[in-house]
Amino acid sequence: MTPANESGAATYRCGFAAIVGRPNVGKSTLLNALLGQKISIVTPKPQTTRHRILGILTRPSAQIVFVDTPGLHASARRAMNRHMNRAALASLQDADVNLFVVEALRWTEEDRHVLEALSKQGRPTILIVNKVDKVSPKERLLPFIEELSKHAQFEEVVPVSALKGTQVERLPDLIARYLPESPPHFPEDQITDRTQAFQAAEIVREKLTLRLRQELPYGLTVGIEQFKEEDGRLLINAVIWVERTGQKAIVIGHGGEQLKEVGRAARIEMSERFGSPVHLELWVKVKENWSDSEAALRQLGYEV
């Protein structure tokens, strides 16, 4: 039901809903589930999301601008980690409502740290208990939720599975209630603020992160050197920046196999997402310690 204003016309609401939580609780998976398509990359490794990414959901009576954020984490020693925390905190400042995502039955010191930042900000917060598909029997959720409700005042508590889509469809109506009356900020057919070139770089980084072991994904980033359309095809050149020469060999793999596989998987996803054939070229280059240099970060597109 849409509330009516004095003139009798339906009220339109629009505003920002920040998706916040510690790394790896499923924030990006939730954004993709809410939008019904993949906007933000997802991997089993923490700290996959490095940028603030908007996902725009336009409904007949509301436009919700979701803000996917890097997970707020406690130890931010390197410049990259500080950038990620800044991006997450900046999103909190603009938010009309927060979606605080936690993992069912797992409350950690890092979760507590995020909740503290939210409490300071003082905006309405909806608690989203994710990954309930892993909980059996479901009754085990109740004491967990009760315990969390003691830590703060939540407007709503919604158990979901972002992965399976369970209960996700309930969220837009709940969230819209906390948005101000406003015309839409974005055209109704726009689903993200990010360019296709940015998305292409993220797709390459996702495929790399999925294949590489241990720490290496944190030491690489992807830049797009060319993104153009020619004869109905997209021609994309991407550079994978690593921090040390030794890492270059690992990324390329034996006989170039690994890089070839990454390129293949990325190309398939790009053609699907952009709706046209893609020719993708990948290079691997070294920029020493880029992730601990504020200047290099800016140069590589980490803007906050």
Ligand X SMILES: Nc1nc2c(ncn2[C@@H]2O[C@H](COP(=O)(O)OP(=O)(O)O)[C@@H](O)[C@H]2O)c(=O)[nH]1
Residues near Mg ion (CB under 5 A) are 27-28, 49
- Binds 98, which of ligand X, Mg ion, none (CB < 5 to 8 A, cut-off by type)? none
Indicate the residue among 49 and 247 with the shorter CB distance to Mg ion. 49
Nearest to 269 by CA among 200, 170, 171: 200
Q: Is 217 in the site for ligand X (CB under 6 A)?
A: no
Rule CB under 6 A: choose which of 63, 125, 130, 247 binds ligand X: 130
Q: How far apart are CA 156 and CA 144, in angstroms?
A: 15
Q: How far apart are CA 226 and CA 236, in angstroms?
A: 5
How does strand 53-58 pair with strand 62-68? antiparallel
Smallest gap from Cβ 73 to Mg ion, in A, equals 12
Q: What character string, x for contact with ligand X (CB under 6 A) and - otherwise, covers 68-97?
A: ---x--------------------------
Give the range of 159-167, 179-187, 211-219, 254-262 binding ligand X by CB under 6 A.
Answer: 159-167
Q: Find the binding residues for ligand X in span 54-73 (CB under 6 A).
A: 71
Q: How far apart are CA 304 and CA 299, in angstroms?
A: 12
* Neighbouring C-beta atoms of residue 151, cutoff 10 Å: 14
Q: Is 167 in the site for ligand X (CB under 6 A)?
A: no
How does strand 125-130 pair with strand 13-20? unpaired
Q: How far apart are CA 85 and CA 70, in angstroms?
A: 7
Structure tokens at 125: 């917060």
Structure tokens at 210: 């999925």
Give the range of 19-27, 141-149, 248-256, 269-277 binding ligand X by CB under 6 A.
Answer: 19-27
Indicate the residue among 161 and 291 with the shorter CB distance to ligand X. 161
Residues near ligand X, by CB under 6 A = 21, 23-29, 42-44, 48-49, 71, 130-131, 133-134, 161-163
